[in-house]
Structure 1
């Protein structure tokens, strides 16, 4: 990894600069600063892609196995999704909030030791497991965007209720659009996470000697899918206040993060 470590370090530096420029734009609504922040973000995504590809070539497998690798991949997904959202919808505040999460995730990976290649067994590099983890990370990306849309909904709802007509309010999409975006992201995230769990169970049945269905991560993952599925059902029935649904969505995402980062409670995710 030492040969390409400079790419990783440069990525963090430029990512920090991009987030700071976006923060300046958030406070002062400066279009020039916004364009500079977006340009840096494009470079960050390109560097992340180069680092990811170099790791894949060097290790000989799709690098989403260790916690360092999954955090890096999660950050890459968030940057890519934010660039896509900016291109299609031009929601600058979403890009800012998304990349706060993406930057924090990337910084977290910086404090983790990189697992030597020889320590990763062939069992962990099976296509079934790699697909399981990749689908989970993409679902986390969708749920992250959904949570941000819901948080923006709650922020705007509070500002409208308090009659606070600030420039920030004018930069937010309408409540209906924010709620609709959150719904679409959850519609994408739930089937991906469900399929990821199914593939993980199939892989576990094939290679794990011990019973694992009562493992904390498995149980919590199923609970997360159930909570998001119930959210979609309540949204479909249209019997709950949108503000309550937005609050529910934020809490569900916090549970998702607990499940993702609470890896030490799991008995068979110890390779992380």
Structure 2
């Protein structure tokens, strides 16, 4: 029973860590003070849980936990989170904080969902299934954000066309203004990109456990990273290059088209996502 409770706390830690990374990503793009503060306190709570687990484990085994690879991985994540908190408070280097936490999340997922560290095979199997559940849930949520974002881009193009042709009427009044449409589409992509990244990390860990001989150039795997790249370019164009308007909306729709191709075509060609067949 204690193992079950500890496992649930570990899963909660992973989820809180993911939320912290999402908020740090928003802060990285827009220097959002509120997002930064919330992310910091979430990460501080994660650090507190990790420290508690570390101390309890030390008491249980009677030594410092670094003699095996799984012990070392957990201590490594604790060090990364500690450094991230220190950098956030002392240096304010958002770029380093965000990517340090992404690395820490990768290592935490590897450690948390590695079945060899659990004595019970039932618990190990259940944890692996929950890993798949979290992966699928996060992937669907990210795709949902991208889907709604594409709807706003379509509305943007319709509104843009109506204004260009000076077709004043009821349609024009019922659609929000261009700035609001573009901003909402952009915000949804900000949410979707880090969520998809974390979903891919979880999916790769599940694949490593359940499909050790997986072909890494599988169509669905490559397609998922192409989707991430497409939306990453969208954010780069919007934030770094200052691209706005019709061209950005078209790029957003092209990125969503890649999602549809990946989901419907690459999913059928994939030997990795075999539940599609």
Aligned counterpart in structure 1 of residue 147 of structure 2, from 119, 144, 157: 144
Contact 2:238 2:244 in 1 (8 A): no
In the alignment, does 2:234 pair up with 1:213? Answer: no
- Taking a change above 3 Å as real, the CA distance of residues 125 and 211 of structure 1, as seen in their structure-2 partners, is closer
Aligned counterpart in structure 1 of residue 271 of structure 2, from 264, 267, 271: 267
Q: Could you tell me the TM-score, scaled by structure 1's length?
A: 0.53
Q: For the aligned residues, what is the CA RMSD?
A: 1.7
- Structure 1 gap ranges (5+): 1-121
Which deviations, in whole Å up to 9, do the C-alpha atoms of 1:130-162 show, x marking residues without a partner? 111000000111001100011100000011001
Contact 2:142 2:191 in 1 (8 A): yes
Q: Secondary structure in 2 aligned to 1:126?
A: helix
Which aligned pairs between 1:45-124 and structure 2 lie closer than 5 A? none
> Following superposition, which runs of at least 4 residues in structure 1 exceed 2 angstroms of deviation?
122-125, 237-241
CA distance in 2, matches of 1:201, 1:248: 27
Name the counterpart of 2:194. Answer: 191
CA distance in 2, matches of 1:186, 1:241: 14
Which deviations, in whole Å up to 9, do the C-alpha atoms of 1:7-61 show, x marking residues without a partner? xxxxxxxxxxxxxxxxxxxxxxxxxxxxxxxxxxxxxxxxxxxxxxxxxxxxxxx
Name the counterpart of 2:255. Answer: 252
How many residue pairs match? The answer is 151
Report the Cα offset of residue 238 of structure 1: 4.3
Q: Could you tell me the TM-score, scaled by structure 2's length?
A: 0.52
Give the greater-gyration-radius structure (CA): 2
- Structure 2 gap ranges (5+): 1-124
Which aligned pairs between 1:165-244 and structure 2 lie closer than 5 A? 165-244=168-247
CA distance in 2, matches of 1:242, 1:214: 35
